[in-house]
Structure formats: structure tokens, C-alpha cells
Amino acid sequence: MTELKNDSFLRALLRQPVERTPVWMMRQAGRYLPEYRKVREEAGSFIKLCTNPELACEVTLQPLRRFAFDAAILFSDILTVPDAMGLGLSFSEGEGPQFARPVASAADIHRLGIPDPETDLRYVMDAVRLIRRELNGRVPLIGFSGSPWTLATYMVEGGGSKTFRKVKALMYDEPALMHRLLEKLAEAVAAYLNAQIAAGAQAVMVFDTWGGMLTTEDYQAFSLHYASRVAELLKTDAEGRKVPKILFTKGGGLWLEAMTEAGFDALGLDWQTDIGRARACVGDKVALQGNMDPVALYAKPEVITEKVRTILEQYGSGPGHVFNLGHGILPDIDPEHVGAMVDAVHRFSPAYHQS
């Protein structure tokens, strides 16, 4: 593989010294970019875009042509694994993802197989290999998956939900059955991420989008436990260096102490979590990624610059910080405002890394 020219992102995740705080952005390949919208229209559908390795590579690289991000993230969807399990994924305009065959019984769970990433999800692995080749060592590539709990919510609900009534009913009424589903998903997610690493991903991220809607007790038993199981099963190194692992639980700021023990190298923070207090909580156990409010990118560039300065100041000096939003960028953000954020990180963060 080509030598990595900029490894500041990987070093920051491992709490190693860097010259400045690295920056990337969740959903950085997305609808806020007109060039993405053009490719999406040409593809004909979101699923066709995701399943075409050449197009997935193109949109992964698009933000790097505009902005000096320190990492690329694979363009894909968190629901590729349950789709490969045979649930029949589709996307309806304005309604989000839907499964034709949601999980509703013990028999449904029993029928679920563990997808073979190089056959059932070959299009993802081909995209990873192509992106790595096209990056040519410019920046690291992040692979990702949804967490077992988050995948389970979509699989049981049949799509998105505001109340999570069905998945919580299964969890409360038949906990053993829910654990059986989550065990399968932990195995499937780990196999999927390990295949991404083998194909060329240099860091991996687990998106626990819906962990924050659980009680503390249920979060630890049904979400964090299985995210930790994924971390335990992941490859620890590739190409002669460690592969960092990131866990992002939206709404997980209450559980940082428990999350530091889950086997990940870094924790993503949403915008509601104070990064200074989070650092004091986790100490030197993990790096932190985050956590600017995505809505702040609607503000004037000078306001965005001050928001960046505040977050850098709150984290303070020393290693272990990757600058990011506290959730994915919104689709109607002005790309110039993204540039203001990235420029501010580059301008002000070196002062926090002087030896």
C-alpha cells in the first residue's frame, strides 16, 4: 500500500502528538455539495449510488477536493448489513429507509444469517479498495458500520421510528430474544468491519445512533455491551500499524465513563456534551472526537470561527482531539461555511499542540 502522507487523524485517535488538531465531518460526502447532488441524480437512486463502487468512490473523494480534511470516510449506509441479511431495504423519498421483511418473531431471528462481506457485501469492499487506490496515501480512510443496537432498531421497527415501540417491546417482553438478535448482529458487524480493514480501511467507526434513547441500565445491557463485543472481535492492526476504533453514541454524554471501558480508542461526542468536562471524565483513556453543533454552520463565517475557537479552548492543550461536528452535516448548509470551519481549525489549533 502507498505510504500515508498525512496520518495526523490516526495519531490523534491514539492520543499521540500532532502538529494541529485533525478535522473531518460526519456525512462530509453528502447533499450539501452540488457535485454530490449531480452524481446522486445520475445514479438514479440512493441505493444505486451506494452499491456502485465507482460512484461511491467519486462522492467519497468530492469533499477532499474542496476542503483540507484530514480523513476520508467511506460513502455507504449503516443499513447495508441488515439488507444483506435479506430484509429488503428500500428508501422512499421523504420517508427514509424501510424494510420489506422486518424482524417480528423468534423464527425471523433464527433465519438471519451472517453475511459474507466479500460476497453479500462485495460492492462495499470493492469501494474501499478503489477509494484507497484513488486516495494514494493523501489521508486515511475511515470504514464504518451501525452498532448492533441501532441496526436492531431499524430491523424490528421496519424503518425509522419516533417512539421505538416495537423494538422496546421486544427488549422488555422478550429480553433473551433481543439478546439473540444482538449477538448475531455483533458478529455480523465485526465481520463487516474486519473485511473493510482487510480491504484498506485505516480506522473504523461504530455509529450507535439510537443508543441514547435507552435508559442507563438498558443502554449498558443492550447497546454498549454489544458495541464492546464488536470492538473485541475487531482486528487490531493492518499494514504495520494499529487500526483505531471510534464509538459514537448520539445522546451518550451521560455514559462516558462506561464507554471508556468498552474497548474503543476514541469516543465521538454529540453537540450537547461539553468537551472540556468530557475530557476531564475520560482522562487519558481515550481520544475524543467532536463536537460542534451542526446547526452552527448556518451562522455567519465569523460566528463559525468563534465556535471553533471555543471548542478548541474547551478541549485544551495536548493530544487526543479530532475536530468534528456533533452529528452529521445538514443537507442545505452552504459549503463555504464548511470551509470557514476547516480553516479555523487549521488556523487556531496549532497553538494547542506546541511542546
Residue positions forming the annotated binding site for substrate: 27-31, 77, 154, 209, 327
Annotated catalytic residue within 32, 154, 219, 315: 154
> How many angstroms separate the CA atoms of 16 and 271, rounded?
24
Residue carrying C-alpha cell 458495541 = 227
**154 among known catalytic residues:** yes
Q: What is the dihedral of CA 24, 27, 30, 31, to 10 degrees?
A: -120
Residue carrying C-alpha cell 441501532 = 150
Omega cis (within 30) before 52:
no
**27 among known catalytic residues:** yes
For the chain, report the end-to-end CA distance as a whole number of angstroms.
Answer: 32
Annotated catalytic residue within 7, 77, 83, 218: 77
Paired strand residues for 159 = 98
**122 among known catalytic residues:** no
Paired strand residues for 203 = 142
List residues forming the annotated binding site: 27-31, 77, 154, 209, 327
Annotated catalytic residue within 40, 132, 229, 279: 40
Asked if 37 and 31 touch (Cβ cutoff 8 Å), the reply is yes
**31 among known catalytic residues:** yes
Helices 301-315 and 275-282: crossing angle in degrees, nearest 10, is 20
> How many angstroms separate the CA atoms of 272 and 275, rounded?
9
Q: What are phi and psi of 249, to 5 degrees?
A: -110, 110
Annotated catalytic residue within 11, 15, 20, 27: 27
65 Cβ contact list (under 8 Å, min separation 6): none
> How many angstroms separate the CA atoms of 297 and 224, rounded?
31
Asked if 152 and 213 touch (Cβ cutoff 8 Å), the reply is no
DSSP 186-224: HHHHHHHHHHHHHHT-SEEEEEETTGGGS-HHHIIIIII
DSSP 314-346: HH-SSS-EEEEESSPPPTT--HHHHHHHHHHHH
Burial class of 30 by CB neighbour count within 10 A (0 to 12, 13 to 18, 19+): buried
Express the helix, strand and coil content of the chain in percent, nearest 5 each. 50, 15, 35
Q: Hey, which residues are catalytic here?
A: 27, 31, 40, 77, 154
